[in-house]
Amino acid sequence: MIFLDNAGTTKMFEQCLEVHKEFSCEDFFNPSAVSIKSMNVFKQISETEKLFLKKLGASEGNVLFTSCATESNNLAIKGSLRAGNLEYVFSCGEHPSVYNVAKQMELEGKIVHFVPLAKDGTVDLQKLESVLNERTRLISIMHVSNETGAINDLKKISTLKNKLCPKAIFHVDGVQAFMKIPFSLRGLAVDLYSFSAHKIHGPKGVAGLYVKNKNSLKELFQGGGQQYGLRSGTENVSGIMQFRKAVELIDVSANLEKVKNLKAIFNSGLAVPGIEVLDFGGSPYIECIKFAGVKGETMLHALEENGVVVGLGSACSSKKAGNRILENIGFSKEDIISTVRVSFNAYQSNEEMSLAAKIICETYKNIKERVTK
């Protein structure tokens, strides 16, 4: 099987299994207890937090460990809500774990602005500027689009925030950026940043939320007061330490160059009329492919039978009709239903990319021939 849906999830590093065994069967102690062994586990978590702050390029703040990026995003948004005549700003390109929270806020009577996307898939900065004001409480805009790979300019958004609403909270869903593209939060006006383990070859069931200022956030549920009183509950020690192992094993710059090469090899093999690569010039890890005259879902199932796995966009919304992000960019419904998402990882081979492209071309030609008969 050649797996080309790495934006949905990634194969876990085998080294994480040993870490899981260590912190589940040996150093299994509760980090909130007061025994020496428990305090040593707590120390390990604290050291992991410092490592993640370094990887984020954050000069201040803390990292909360959550169960998934959906929880991180919900904690960031709902924990930032305040009473009063305040406004909340989101892009139309957000992941469902952000977008659906915003739609619920709108239903509850809060003032919510949805900023459209430009043709390249990034947030329309002019439209964003037009809705920001002194009443803006929260801005939530993702770093890298999980649908197109488009990269939003956090520096320009930070400049707008500092100019028009300096007291606002700026949240970034960084799931498709963390440990994939080089960046640093230092000097940016980012207050909250979400990221996830299973998108970077770590385990499912653990994620992170960077918090610049703990006072800007309120907890969503009450408990024992773990993690600075913002995320109560016994920490998933094994998951956190496996997450750390995945981060330690990744060389961001080297992987980026590897993926660029893999993508180039893959795309060069798609030389068949009717197959169009939709490259938005963002992260090389993600791209879309349009198959003229053939539904994307048809291609997805046929390719899986032939040993290639692709996606139909966000795994959290892939069973729903249409594609909100591509529609907002300006794609027709016909184009959208003919599109699949392809996403790479740095540990795949050149041979796999060549073979995947060949299988895709042959599968498309076979389907097209049957359709046109």
* pLDDT tens, residue by residue, 334-372: 999 999 999 999 999 999 999 999 999 999 999 988 766
Fold (CATH) for 2-10+251-372: Aspartate Aminotransferase, domain 1 (3.90.1150)
Predicted local confidence at residue 317, as pLDDT: 47
Average pLDDT value for residue range 243-261: 98
316 is catalytic: yes
Q: CATH 3.90.1150.10 occupies which residues in the chain?
A: 2-10+251-372
What percent of the chain shows pLDDT beyond 70?
Answer: 97
Length of the chain: 373
pLDDT reading at 217 higher than 60: yes
Predicted local confidence at residue 314, as pLDDT: 54
Average pLDDT value for residue range 300-305: 97
Domain 15-249 belongs in CATH node 3.40.640.10: yes
Q: Which of the residues 25, 288, 316, 361 is marked catalytic?
A: 316
Q: CATH 3.40.640.10 occupies which residues in the chain?
A: 15-249
pLDDT reading at 106 higher than 90: yes
* pLDDT tens, residue by residue, 61-81: 999 999 999 999 999 999 999
pLDDT reading at 107 higher than 60: yes
pLDDT reading at 318 higher than 50: no
pLDDT reading at 89 higher than 60: yes
Average pLDDT value for residue range 276-296: 95
* pLDDT tens, residue by residue, 186-211: 999 999 999 999 999 999 999 999 99
Average pLDDT value for residue range 166-192: 98
